[in-house]
Amino acid sequence: MSEKPRLVVILGPTAVGKTKVATHLAAQVDGEIISADSRQVYRQLDIGTGKDLADYVVGDLVIPHHLINSCEPNEEYNLQHFQQDFDQAYLDILSRSKLPILCGGTGLYIQAVLENYRLTSIPNNAPLRKELSKYTNQELKHKISDYYFPDGFQPDISSDKRLIRAIEIGEFLKTNAIEIGARQDRKALIIGLDINRELRRKLITKRLEDRLNNGLIEEVQSLIASGITKDRLRYFGLEYKFITDHLDGLIDRKTLFDRLNVAIHQFAKRQMTWFRKMERQGHQIHWIDAQLPLDQKVAGIVDKFGGKVE
């Protein structure tokens, strides 16, 4: 890019090694990480969200990071909170002449930063949420087609939770006006880590096996013992939903693995669909082969902007 970035974005599907690339880049260019992961903000949700905090130590350096472990599991945290927290962290990092590096796989969060979404101030509608919780995924997808959304906002339908929030927004907009901010020019360099589908599937399956064998089920048991309700854990989706079902005796260990494995593969596919959609909407993503050696990936990113920040 012709101008030096004031933000580097590292995105890609789950299991491709985004955090390690981001932290090694930060070590080289005096940067700090801002997490773009909708679940890593919660304390105690560690193994299931893949926090990989050891990756934030690069040689003798501890890479500063933001928006990880910033709230309790029973607290509400949504896109509006993320935008506010991002803005605060971003300006703080720039004020110290460091390079902000936004890293994660939550496409909605990343796009909100780049496009200045302002639909997030819409209040929760508890009665509507309760009603919609009885719907199947297909019923929710059918229902959302009844709503109008203004230009510049693409509802996230990647999970039941986000479908319900999108319908909640659509219902609010029937009788209320809301502002959508203009797209902001943060001079962002967007880097995508790409990997072929078959290798991605192998990495996801291997990672799930490792996590289940190294404390993931025990993590969920500990969360339940600490007072986090099972409904709340199911709200977090994927690992927390399926393991809670397993601990409730609804599915056995093999079914847990099989269903969760499929669900994570589907999640990764939805992530890539979101990123391709961002490209169609005008965001240039510079894709890098995730299979390259780490030093080559970092060098390739640095070469795109000279490794400096204005």
Q: What are the pLDDT digits (tens) for 92-117?
A: 999 999 999 999 999 989 988 988 76
Q: Taking a C-beta distance cutoff of 8 angstroms, is the pair 288, 297 a contact?
A: yes
End-to-end CA distance of the chain: 14
- Is residue 272 over pLDDT 70? yes
What would the two tokens of residue 92 be? 């703080």
What would the two tokens of residue 243 be? 């393991």
pTM of the full predicted structure?
Answer: 0.81
Q: Taking a C-beta distance cutoff of 8 angstroms, is the pair 124, 30 a contact?
A: no
Decide which of 175 and 22 is more confident. Answer: 22
Residue 13: pLDDT band (50, 70, 90) is: very high
Q: What is the pLDDT of residues 225-247, one digit of tens each?
A: 999 999 999 999 999 999 999 99
Give the percent of the chain with pLDDT over 90: 69
Q: Taking a C-beta distance cutoff of 8 angstroms, is the pair 262, 5 a contact?
A: no
Domains and CATH numbers, the chain: 121-180 (no CATH), 197-264 (1.10.287.890)
242/263 Cα distance (integer angstroms): 10
